Structure 1
Amino acid sequence: MKALAQVAPAPAAAAPKKQLQALRISGGIKLDGLLDEAVWQQAPIATDFIQQRPNPGVPEKHRTEVRVLYDDANLYIGAIMHDSSPDSIMREMTQRDQFGNSDLFSVFLDTYHDQLNGYNFTVTTSGVQLDGRYSPAGGEDFNWNAVWDARTTQHGTDWVAEMRIPYSAIRFSKLPEQLWGLNFARQRKRDNQQFFWNEVKPTVNGFVNQWGELRGVRDIKPPLRLSVTPYISGYVNHNPLNEEGTKRTTTSFNGGADVKWGINESFTLDATLVPDFGQVQSDNQVLNLSPFEVQFNENRQFFTEGTELFNKGNLFYSRRVGATPIGFYGVRRGANEKILRNPAETRLLNATKISGRTKKGLGVGLFNALSNDVYATVRNTETGEEREVLTQPFSNYNIAVLDQSLKNNSYVSLINTNVTRWGSTYDANVTGGLFRFNNKKNSYALDGSMVYSRRRGTQFGTDKPIDDQDGYKYSLGVGKISGNLTWDINHSIESDKYNPNDLGLLFSNNSISQSFSVAYRKYQPFWKVNNMAFFGQVGHELLYKPTRYQSLYFYNGFNTTFTKSFLQVGYDFVLSPVSHDYFEPRTYPLGDYFVRVPGNADFVAFFNSDTRKRFALGMNAGLQRFGLDERLPRERRLKYSLGAYPRYRINNHLTFSYSLDWSLHRNQIGFVNGGLSQQEALDLPFTGQIMLGRRHVATVSNVVSAAYTFTNRMSFTLRTRHYTSNVRYADFAVLGPDGEERQADYRRNRDNTYNAFNVDAVYSWWFAPGSQVSIVWKNAGYTFLNAEKATPQYFDNFNNTINTPHNNSLSVKVLYYLDYLMVRRPK
């Protein structure tokens, strides 16, 4: 999502703060986008906006006029945007929280005037609403959603926006007279221009601290913020791959609710009771040949909205909550038994979060979630007798955060995460502290962190004690954060026993790393370009225990945008000498075995065309070339990559987009996926050894999407994805200590092909503020072909995937937003 505020630091003084007086009214305003009530003409006007991009500091040519009213329950904003002609006003219709090819108007509120935290309420010319929050912890967060309303109209060469923001949507103090940070923004998409009322300089560190002030708001009280959003949902699921003796078509009905309660003026409780996440977008499944897990995006709204505090320090990976049961892959079956059911997800009972920030800048966050027992079902094929196998015990997930905001965008934070599992298995606890101190001019910063991980108990399903019981991580960095030229130096250590992965995400530990980065950015247009940026970094990494060399790299990057065409071009270049991969052999403890990776150069070039056009195209192409490994008679390693992302906008309602990602790894050296098995005769001579394979890996991902927006509250989207990855082995080698490899006469065919196909069709109707009806159809099919069945032919894989039986799901879900202030009886 394109951010509204593209702000980067540099040593310059912020613009003087403008002030605007709000006007109190009695009685409400009819929200119709007309601004025809007489009271609007009585309010002071905010005007004389200043351009922030592409040419910072230039006064607006087409006048913008904004007025602010308020009463006991709401804040009202009326804005008139003048333009040169009716067809200069762009107005693509999109779903909520998507910018599109449209002009827009935004209001920004810093209700505690701490110059650190703020709200964003945006409306496009088509009436599409967007909202977000700003904080030192989360930066710019458009996952946050509030219940508010807006209307827009167009009159000749002007367009008008009228907003009503209930006080229940924001937090503020009980002071008799409010002093709020305030700014307005306008985007003229025709010329890709953005303007702010209070000038926002890209050469000044920070964004919220560059807002003006709203005065005159008196004698308002924070309302009781209490809302309930109950839901009901129904599913019909057909899975032709279900085991014999089980239903292939099933139905289910669910009910629950989301609750939001403003505990006081500063803190809010959010709870989801018996949540239903069955309608979220399908994950992009891939063939994973690496020694690390795949990280998936979080698509569940409860875990994306208002979570900036919990994401401090990168200790919370929300997909752990409700994840695959820890015993999913360890279900054992005896003779004449088969696994009948083995749920791949943990069912959540509820989840609750409390978050907020005091007027003195102390942020407090508490998160708690409970998941139920999960059982697999195993059936005896002779007797029909069934037994249940516990794969996930009843579990409690907890996070506590304290985050003290300081001046100059500085902070000090303390985070604790905890996972408690019932029964005979292990529990995990992680505690971390982090800080960032900027000097008064916001020109230099010192930051760091210290994290301790503690795990106690036995491995699930065994009596073996957990082995990584105590570990730690620390990092320290210093840098120049202001000016066109910036730099930073970082050093960090992760011990060999550090493991935050019960509630966090860490791909690898056991490292000592240090890096130096430098960047030069030019924001003012010059020559034929709007801006320019150069980046550089050098990094070095050692194994922590034992202390051994891992890698060294040199990075350089560049990008710029041309003035007339708005064509963006750039490149990334990485040069790496010989490195040692201690994780690829999948042998622990680390240190004795590694895969030697020859020195290589990796170059990627990219461009993105003007998104204002009906047809827009982004592309990238890359080549990675490795040095020859003369120890064995092997061909040179090479990697090719290509990405193409065309988009065509039929009209302001209908858009088609396509993405193609292709890569080819030639002569890649890696651990033979699947390992060796004592059940395979051809594996027996090599059992207990580390088998590497030289392989060619070809991967293609195609995604076709269509979006039709009926109105600013009703839309239909269709997303179809086909992914195929083909692995063909050329020869094999046995890995010895210190990276030694010797060719092996290994005859088993290890070729394999993985295919994934998904369809997500979603109809959504916001029939009232905060209330929604959604109808979702999902289609999913997966195939994994081994040995002779594996095929490198793309269309053979595509046809095979299409003709494979698929799982189909149709669901209907209704949410209805109930606000206490709306349903209470008037006195």
Structure 2
Amino acid sequence: MRKLLIILFLNSFFAESLFAQKINESYRLPIQKTSSTIEIDGALTEQAWLDAEVATDFFMITPMDTSFAKVRTDVRMTYDDENLYLLVENFHGIPGPYMVESLRRDFSFGKNDNFLLFMDPFDDQTNGFSFGANAAGAQWDGIMYNGGSVDLSWDNKWYSKVTNYDDKWVFEAKIPFKSIRYKKGITEWGINFSRLDLKTTEKSGWAPVPRQFPSASLAYTGILVWDQAPPQVGANVSIIPYALGGFRQNRSEGEDPVYRKEVGVDAKIALTSSLNLDLTVNPDFSQVEVDRQVTNLDRFELFFPERRQFFLENGDLFASFGYERIRPFFSRRIGLNAPIQFGARVSGKVNKDWRIGAMNMQTEEVNEDALPSQNFTVLAAQRRVGARSNIGAIFVNKQSLKYNPDPNSENPIYSQFNRNLGLEYNLATSNNLWTGKVMGLKSFGPDNTDNGFVQAANFKYTAGNLTWEWQHEYVSDKYTAEVGYVPRNGYFKINPKIGYRWFPTSEKILSHGPDVSSTSYWNKSGEFTDNTSFIAYNVKWRSQSTFMLWTAYDYVELQRPFDPTNYSGETLSAGSKHKWFAWGTEYTSKPQSIFTYAFSTRMGGYYADGERYNVSGELGYRFQPYVSIAMNANYNRIILPEPWFTNNFWLVGPRVDVTMTNTLFFTAFVQYNEQIENINLNTRFQWRFKPASDIFLVYTDNYLPAPFYTKNRSLVLKFTYWWNL
């Protein structure tokens, strides 16, 4: 194993050195200061646009990446002392109306005719910002991290307008320099433009991107060449106060309504053009959409993503450390059972090579016996190494204040402290063919009870046809991350994967090919406990519809008692062994249709020589661009011997999105979860009366299905205002 890792590391280091030069260095777009005042009206009328250089002759990314795009796109950029401006002419490839899902902000990329800007103002090919719009004018904005991922939960202040013509749609935008972070003094930014035209099913980019990578890949950006260094905008302070009123009531406990009258404030202070201080006092996140429920048949805790705005900018510094199921820091642990009183965070770039992050949050004492006041501190740093790789470090501390546990309790419900210290190397070569990570974590707790260790690594190679990956993980049985997400410990895991794609010259099929993977676990004693061996065959049509057929073999030796229904309370014993075969299908229809659908099936064995059958589906219909209707349904039938017998679990979720304008939104959805015997109703009205300033009205109910009655209910009216000083 050690020899294999050394070989992989040397290969990756050689590959990074070999491709150190920026790939699309020759794609350069000059930008000069505007020669006239610009009005954001979606029209190419000002002299500044006639004077600007034009980025055109886009390259096709899909269905093929070997030719120029057939659909024409022209991009112009300019700036003044306060704003960056963008104007895009998106010409129609074939006659017919545009295709969009709705006017919903941060729309689904694959279901909308759209144009996106990917911007690397640090010129590190790793971090940046994305802005864009669909053909009906819905905005898209997000922060970029890990060289090509976009977090759309980030939201900021900018302006745009889309105007439709017979032969094209024009997108014009004004992005204040105060809304982004950038390195002071540099005159070359990484930049690329992406266009998706659903009528022709063509995705294209200004600087060419191989089709195996997303168009957001910062490894393949061209260069935005400034005529002078971007302006320094002086004091950059934003104050974002909120006020809310409402009530909540736990009717199942017979409680009276609790009325809410709250105020709070966030502040964003630019310490430099690329380093930001965020402050919050008495934050409230009532407008954040509730989590989508799932039928939980897993042995371990489920993961739900962070959606709260305060934690998002530069959030990858903290949240991306580790792996999906080994996270030393998971921000949703903060404020989970106790309200946050205040918090502060410094994050961003110090220079081209260094990124830092420091966060401190304080929660309120719920009551002396249940949960004390707690303080959370997270420190993170990244040092760039080579072209796009970096070395990162993290320290996480959770400290319980006024710690007075019950002296008669063998297991207090909270600990005095829990700390994690980690170091990792993130590999990303200039051409993105090699990516990977090597990491180590150490936890510390009182009386050495939580002193554990983690070591893990993965290496991935992604070429035009071939993809392969190796990953291994070791998590000791004493490793504890109370502010993290580590649902399983006391194991060693290996997970090799390989996939191959053929790209035929067929007029209908874009690609097809197999994927093979095997995931195996051993416990702390070195005993083999789990294996999932998976084989799939994938087909993707030029229309963008997809199909997958798969089969899998599972073996599990339970390390602790487990209820295979997560419902009955009856458990299989620790040490019992189970194995089964299963197979299934997945299909997603082409996104161009007004009516879309997707389904998946699963049938085969299950625990205790049982059987499990699953069918899930999604139906969507849109009255573009104003209304989008979706219905999700998931059905599980689990057949087991006594005492479980046969269990049927339905999960049904109709949803309606009404976007009256691109500033006025209404969303309503219902979630019926038979496994937890709950019906959830959530409605949210949002009026964005100014950029990044909103009024929300949110109503939530939870019901017991039978007999039907309300368990709890809440109503909130919230006002937020973004005020630039």
Fold conserved between structures, TM > 0.5: yes
Match of 2:385 in 1: 406
Q: Distance in 1 between matches of 2:208 and 2:244?
A: 47
Match of 1:54 in 2: 63
What does the per-residue CA deviation read over 1:647-683, in whole Å, with 9 as the maximum and x for residues that have no partner?
11134211111111111221168xxxxxxxxxxxxxx
Matched, 1:267 2:285: no
Change (3 A) 1:416 1:533: farther
Match of 2:438 in 1: 448
Match of 2:29 in 1: 20
Matched, 1:395 2:374: yes
| TM-superposed deviation, 1:284 | 4.9
Change (3 A) 1:584 1:593: closer
Match of 1:309 in 2: 317
Q: Distance in 1 between matches of 2:202 and 2:339?
A: 47
Give the conservation status (yes or no) of the 8 Å contact 2:125–2:147.
no
- Which region of structure 1 is more displaced relative to structure 2, 275-284 or 252-261? 275-284
Structure 2 gaps of 5+ residues are: 1-14, 405-414, 564-571
| TM-superposed deviation, 1:241 | 3.1
- Identity of counterpart residues, as a percentage? 23
Matched, 1:320 2:357: no
Aligned residue type for 1:755: E
Q: Distance in 2 between matches of 1:84 and 1:129?
A: 22
What does the per-residue CA deviation read over 1:321-354, in whole Å, with 9 as the maximum and x for residues that have no partner?
111xxxxxxxxxxxxxxxxxxxxx3111023222
Q: What is the 5 A alignment of 1:508-587?
A: 508-522=488-502, 526=506, 528-544=508-524, 546-563=525-542, 565-577=543-555, 579-584=556-561
Q: Distance in 2 between matches of 1:703 and 1:643?
A: 11
Give the conservation status (yes or no) of the 8 Å contact 1:286–1:756.
no
Q: Decide which of 734, 752, 758 is 2:680's aligned counterpart.
A: 758
Give the conservation status (yes or no) of the 8 Å contact 1:86–1:158.
no
Matched, 1:810 2:718: no
Change (3 A) 1:624 1:302: farther
Matched, 1:641 2:619: no
Match of 2:7 in 1: none
Q: Distance in 2 between matches of 1:289 and 1:230?
A: 42
TM-score (ref. length: structure 1): 0.78
Matched, 1:254 2:232: no
> SS in structure 2 opposite 1:319?
helix
Match of 2:360 in 1: 368
Give the conservation status (yes or no) of the 8 Å contact 2:54–2:75.
yes
- Which region of structure 1 is more displaced relative to structure 2, 759-768 or 304-313? 304-313
| TM-superposed deviation, 1:25 | 2.2
Match of 1:298 in 2: 306
Match of 1:471 in 2: 452
Q: Distance in 1 between matches of 2:166 and 2:43?
A: 13
Number of residue pairs aligned between Structure 1 and Structure 2 = 681
Q: What is the 5 A alignment of 1:209-248?
A: 209-223=219-233, 224-243=235-254, 248=256
Aligned residue type for 1:357: K
TM-score (ref. length: structure 2): 0.88
Q: Distance in 1 between matches of 2:429 and 2:47?
A: 49
- Which region of structure 1 is more displaced relative to structure 2, 521-530 or 389-398? 521-530
What does the per-residue CA deviation read over 1:395-450, in whole Å, with 9 as the maximum and x for residues that have no partner?
00111111123334322111111100011342000111111345676544563111
| TM-superposed deviation, 1:695 | 4.0
Change (3 A) 1:605 1:507: same
Give the conservation status (yes or no) of the 8 Å contact 1:479–1:486.
yes
Q: Distance in 2 between matches of 1:207 and 1:756?
A: 41
Change (3 A) 1:482 1:404: farther
Aligned residue type for 2:329: F
Q: Distance in 1 between matches of 2:91 and 2:506?
A: 28
Q: Distance in 1 between matches of 2:26 and 2:144?
A: 19
| TM-superposed deviation, 1:779 | 1.0
Q: Distance in 1 between matches of 2:520 and 2:242?
A: 52
Matched, 1:435 2:425: yes
Q: Distance in 2 between matches of 1:718 and 1:45?
A: 43
What does the per-residue CA deviation read over 1:690-737, in whole Å, with 9 as the maximum and x for residues that have no partner?
xxx444332110101011100011111101111112xxxxxxxxxxxx
Change (3 A) 1:445 1:188: closer
Match of 2:12 in 1: none
Aligned residue type for 1:711: T
Give the conservation status (yes or no) of the 8 Å contact 1:644–1:660.
yes
Give the conservation status (yes or no) of the 8 Å contact 2:127–2:147.
no
Q: Distance in 2 between matches of 1:321 and 1:514?
A: 31
> SS in structure 1 opposite 2:169?
strand
Change (3 A) 1:428 1:239: closer
Q: Distance in 1 between matches of 2:249 and 2:575?
A: 45
Aligned residue type for 2:678: A
Aligned residue type for 1:225: N
Aligned-residue CA RMSD (Å):
2.8
Q: Distance in 2 between matches of 1:432 and 1:477?
A: 16
Aligned residue type for 2:632: S
Give the conservation status (yes or no) of the 8 Å contact 1:85–1:156.
no
Aligned residue type for 1:667: L
Q: Distance in 2 between matches of 1:567 and 1:440?
A: 31
Q: Distance in 2 between matches of 1:61 and 1:258?
A: 47
| TM-superposed deviation, 1:495 | 1.0
Change (3 A) 1:477 1:298: closer
Match of 1:722 in 2: 672
Match of 1:767 in 2: 689
Aligned residue type for 2:251: P
Change (3 A) 1:711 1:643: same
Match of 1:182 in 2: 191
Matched, 1:777 2:699: yes
What does the per-residue CA deviation read over 1:461-509, in whole Å, with 9 as the maximum and x for residues that have no partner?
xxxxxx7321111113345344522323333211111111x10011110
Q: Distance in 1 between matches of 2:444 and 2:147?
A: 25
Q: Decide which of 333, 338, 353 is 1:346's aligned counterpart.
A: 338
Change (3 A) 1:53 1:663: same
Change (3 A) 1:47 1:27: closer
> SS in structure 1 opposite 2:452?
strand
Change (3 A) 1:715 1:524: farther
Aligned residue type for 1:390: D
Matched, 1:666 2:639: yes
Match of 1:191 in 2: 200
Q: Which has the higher contact order (CA 8 A, sep 6+)?
A: 2
Match of 1:141 in 2: 151
Aligned residue type for 2:416: Y
Q: Decide which of 161, 169, 191 is 1:151's aligned counterpart.
A: 161
Aligned residue type for 1:642: V
| TM-superposed deviation, 1:532 | 2.5
> SS in structure 1 opposite 2:178?
helix
Q: Distance in 2 between matches of 1:539 and 1:84?
A: 45
Change (3 A) 1:720 1:555: same
Match of 1:712 in 2: 662
Give the conservation status (yes or no) of the 8 Å contact 1:713–1:766.
yes
Q: Distance in 2 between matches of 1:483 and 1:220?
A: 37
Change (3 A) 1:107 1:607: same
Match of 1:674 in 2: none
Q: What is the 5 A alignment of 1:679-758?
A: 693-725=643-675, 754-758=676-680
Match of 2:6 in 1: none
Q: Distance in 2 between matches of 1:455 and 1:696?
A: 44
Q: Distance in 2 between matches of 1:27 and 1:256?
A: 41
Structure 1 gaps of 5+ residues are: 1-8, 324-344, 376-388, 458-466, 587-591, 630-635, 670-692, 726-753, 783-797, 821-827
Match of 1:487 in 2: 468
What does the per-residue CA deviation read over 1:797-827, in whole Å, with 9 as the maximum and x for residues that have no partner?
x4x15x223422221111111012xxxxxxx
| TM-superposed deviation, 1:163 | 1.0
- Which region of structure 1 is more displaced relative to structure 2, 22-31 or 280-289? 280-289
Change (3 A) 1:349 1:182: same
